[in-house]
Amino acid sequence: MGIIVQKFGGTSVGSVERIQHVAKRVILEKDAGNDVVVVVSAMGKTTDQLVSLAEQMTSKPSKREMDMLLTTGEQVTVSLLAMALNEQGYEAISYTGWQAGMMTESVHGNARITHIRTEKMEEQLQLGKIVIVAGFQGITEDDEITTLGRGGSDTTAVALAAALKAEKCDIYTDVTGVFTTDPRYIAEARKLEAISYDEMLELANLGAGVLHPRAVEFAKNYQVPLEVRSSLELERGTIVGEEISMEQNLVVRGIAFEDQVTRVSVLGLPNEINTLSTIFSTLANYGINVDIIIQSSTNEKKTSISFSVKTADLGDVLKVLEDYKEILTYDKIESESKLSKVSIVGSGMISNPGVAAQMFKELSDHGILIKMVSTSEIKVSAVVDEENMVKAVEVLHEAFELSKQKATVQSS
């Protein structure tokens, strides 16, 4: 028996009744003979409510004060869960992120963990106590409270599991595991028994919301076994690990998709060696994330570049490009919104040529126009009209027989 880290999200702790239910899940693990560390998020919509309060005070709150405000949400949850466990006769102690020794860089709103001072937690575990830690938060070397940004509680849990050398990190959610695609849209979506770190990382980056990419990356780097499980159902979830065996040798493991994509085309750029670096360095300096990139040269002197961004960022993109027009010296800008990105993911693509061709043929045969393409060793993404997003997922899910797929983690 060893240390098990359990993480429960905002939905799982959204009410007093649900916190009491979480306490029962924690007790099951403790009664199995394990030392237990629990990471929790703020209750339900608490974070949204806190943001709303801030907006009533000012349209531009400082990031430091937002961190001071938002970290109060998790503090409520950890204390209530500790009370629930104590009431059941189990010794528990709650910690904020900084009490737990979560040290971060000096960035408010989206800090990264630098290291964890585990001595206090280890001392309490040796005393037989259940340790409950507030997710999403930490502290700098200068004693400034920070938050870890979107998905921060997932990252907190995985980082703690790595630092404490835990046997496993269980991520409890409102779904029973990782599915071949989003079951809210595709009825035939099937829960996976296992998936590799690399595949999960691609799916997370491509829009699958069950795990945050930073948490998966942390787990891969420190070889932390993960299990995505339901906080409501007593059943096994999906193991995220290093190696999986492909029982039916299917190369595609899952499909991710996201809407609100916009294509931006910068036409008539100078066809020079530094054109790409100049335009994308300029956008990066303003914190604008660019996804798929396509360059096409019309002649020796002129070139055009198209790239995709989140539709919410379009206004910022157009403003930056307009402000730097004299430096970039392009002819004009065009944009197209109401697009979506559909991606197939699978480590089997590395050794199986023709997967992309099959994907493109299936979409073409069903009258779905592809507007942009991006590939890596284990994924192929296609940008299509937003109105065709769900249809594209349905077509590809059936074509690659994902409802029949089965895989298990190899034993070491």
pLDDT at residue 210, rounded to an integer: 86
Cα–Cα dist 286/290, whole Å: 11
Residues of the chain with pLDDT > 70, as a percent, come to 96
Residue 149 shares a structural domain with residue 263? no
Structure tokens belonging to residue 376 = 């890596």
The pTM of the full predicted model, rounded to 2 decimals, is 0.86
Which range is most confident: 65-74, 184-193, 228-237, 247-256? 65-74
Residue 14 shares a structural domain with residue 157? yes
Residue 248 in this model has a pLDDT that exceeds 50: no
pLDDT at residue 44, rounded to an integer: 92
pLDDT at residue 244, rounded to an integer: 60
Residue 267 shares a structural domain with residue 129? no
Cα–Cα dist 12/154, whole Å: 13
Cα–Cα dist 201/214, whole Å: 8
User: Which residues 6+ apart lie within 8 Å of 231 measured at CB?
Assistant: 8, 9, 11, 12, 18, 21, 22, 25, 172, 173, 174
Q: Which of 146, 174, 202 is the last residue of a domain?
A: 174
Residue 119 in this model has a pLDDT that exceeds 50: yes
Angle subtended at Cα 178 by Cα 153 and Cα 166, rounded to the nearest 5 degrees: 50
Residue 127 shares a structural domain with residue 261? no
Residues 358, 141 contacting (CB under 8 angstroms): no
pLDDT at residue 121, rounded to an integer: 98
Residue 170 shares a structural domain with residue 261? no
Residue 127 shares a structural domain with residue 268? no
Residues 397, 182 contacting (CB under 8 angstroms): no
Residue 247 in this model has a pLDDT that exceeds 60: no
Structure tokens belonging to residue 214 = 């930073």
pLDDT at residue 54, rounded to an integer: 96
Residue 32 shares a structural domain with residue 160? yes
Q: State how many domains the chain has.
A: 2
CB hemisphere CA count around 41 (13 angstroms) = 27
Strands (E), 64-139: 92-95, 102-104, 113-116, 130-134, 137-139
Q: Which of 128, 159, 174 is the last residue of a domain?
A: 174
Residue 166 shares a structural domain with residue 273? no
pLDDT at residue 287, rounded to an integer: 87
pLDDT at residue 64, rounded to an integer: 97
Strand partners, 341: 258, 383
Q: Where in the sequence is the domain holding 347, given as residue range(s)? A: 255-404
Decide if 329 is inside a domain. Answer: yes
Residue 161 shares a structural domain with residue 266? no
Helix (H) or strand (E) holding 372: strand 372-376
Residue 159 shares a structural domain with residue 298? no
Q: Checking phi first, is residue 303 left (phi over 0); if not, alpha (psi -120 to 50) or beta?
A: beta
pLDDT at residue 407, rounded to an integer: 46
For residue range 370-410, list pLDDT tens digits in order. 999 999 999 999 999 999 999 999 999 999 999 875 544 44
pLDDT at residue 406, rounded to an integer: 56
pLDDT at residue 232, rounded to an integer: 87
pLDDT at residue 165, rounded to an integer: 96
For residue range 148-196, list pLDDT tens digits in order. 988 899 999 999 999 999 999 999 998 899 999 999 999 999 999 999 9
In this prediction, residues 141-152 reach a mean pLDDT of 93
Residue 250 in this model has a pLDDT that exceeds 80: no
In this prediction, residues 32-59 reach a mean pLDDT of 96
DSSP letter string, 125-192: HHTTPEEEEETTEEE-TT--EEE--TTHHHHHHHHHHHHTT-SEEEEEESSSS-BSS-TTT-TT--B-
pLDDT at residue 245, rounded to an integer: 56
What's 311's domain CATH number? 3.30.2130.10
Cα–Cα dist 343/134, whole Å: 34
pLDDT at residue 51, rounded to an integer: 95
Decide if 226 is inside a domain. Answer: no
- Of 340, 289, 45, nearest in space to 182 by CA: 340
Residue 22 shares a structural domain with residue 161? yes
Decide if 160 is inside a domain. Answer: yes
Q: How confident is the model at residue 249 (pLDDT cuts 50, 70, 90)?
A: low
For residue range 267-306, list pLDDT tens digits in order. 999 988 899 999 999 999 998 999 999 998 877 789 999 9
Residue 355 shares a structural domain with residue 265? yes
Residue 412 in this model has a pLDDT that exceeds 70: no
Decide if 197 is inside a domain. Answer: no
What's 16's domain CATH number? 3.40.1160.10
In this prediction, residues 254-262 reach a mean pLDDT of 96
For residue range 206-242, list pLDDT tens digits in order. 988 888 898 999 999 999 999 999 998 889 999 999 8
Decide if 378 is inside a domain. Answer: yes
Q: Which of 144, 174, 204 is the last residue of a domain?
A: 174
